[in-house]
Amino acid sequence: MVDLKCNADFCVVPMGTESPSVSNYIAEIQVLMHQSGLKYSMHSAGTTVEGPWDQVMELIGKAHELMHKLGVQRVQTDVRIGTRVDKKQSFEDKVTVVEKILKQKNQAEALSV
């Protein structure tokens, strides 16, 4: 058992489906995400989820199981995981910090014109 909190960004790719569109499969994964109780955010190229390491990894595994139960023969998933122990930081916090820096840069550029 790993006792870490993590942010994981993952993209499940159902392969060999009847259609090039996989939206219905992704919608099923989003239902699974909601049922997990973990904090998550879907974006155009995947989903970001945060929580205890073991729960996040189990959830990604359940997404694979779900795809197979829905008849997908092959599933490929890309995962990027981050951990941090020096402070507590959510995935929204990370974005907010960058947006704040950009706002400061834009204000500085406006003053220099």
What are the tens digits of pLDDT across the range 51-66?
Answer: 999 999 999 999 999 9
Give the pLDDT score at 113.
67
Which amino acid is residue 81, in one-letter code?
I
Range of the domain at 28: 5-85
Give the pLDDT score at 68.
97
Residue 32 lies in a domain: yes
Of the candidates 99, 96, 6, 85, the one whose C-alpha atom is nearest the C-alpha of residue 48 is 6
Residue 103 lies in a domain: no
108 confidence band (pLDDT: 50, 70, 90): confident
Residue 91 lies in a domain: no
Residue 105 lies in a domain: no
Residue 72 lies in a domain: yes
Give the pLDDT score at 6.
96
What is the enclosing helix (H) or strand (E) of 79?
Answer: strand 74-83
Domain count, the chain: 1
In the predicted structure, residue 50 carries a pLDDT above the cut 90? yes
**Burial per residue of 84-110, b for 16 or more beta-carbon CB atoms within 10 angstroms, e otherwise:** eeeeeeebeeeeeeeeeeeeeeeeeee
- Helix then strand then coil, in percent of the chain rounded to 5, is 45, 30, 25
Residue 101 lies in a domain: no
Residue 78 lies in a domain: yes
Residue 65 lies in a domain: yes
Q: What's the distance, CA 43 to chain centroid?
A: 8
pTM of structure: 0.84
The CATH number of the domain holding residue 62 is: 3.30.70.930
Residue with tokens 């006792």: 3
- Work out the end-to-end distance of the chain between its first and last CA atoms, rounded to an integer number of angstroms: 56
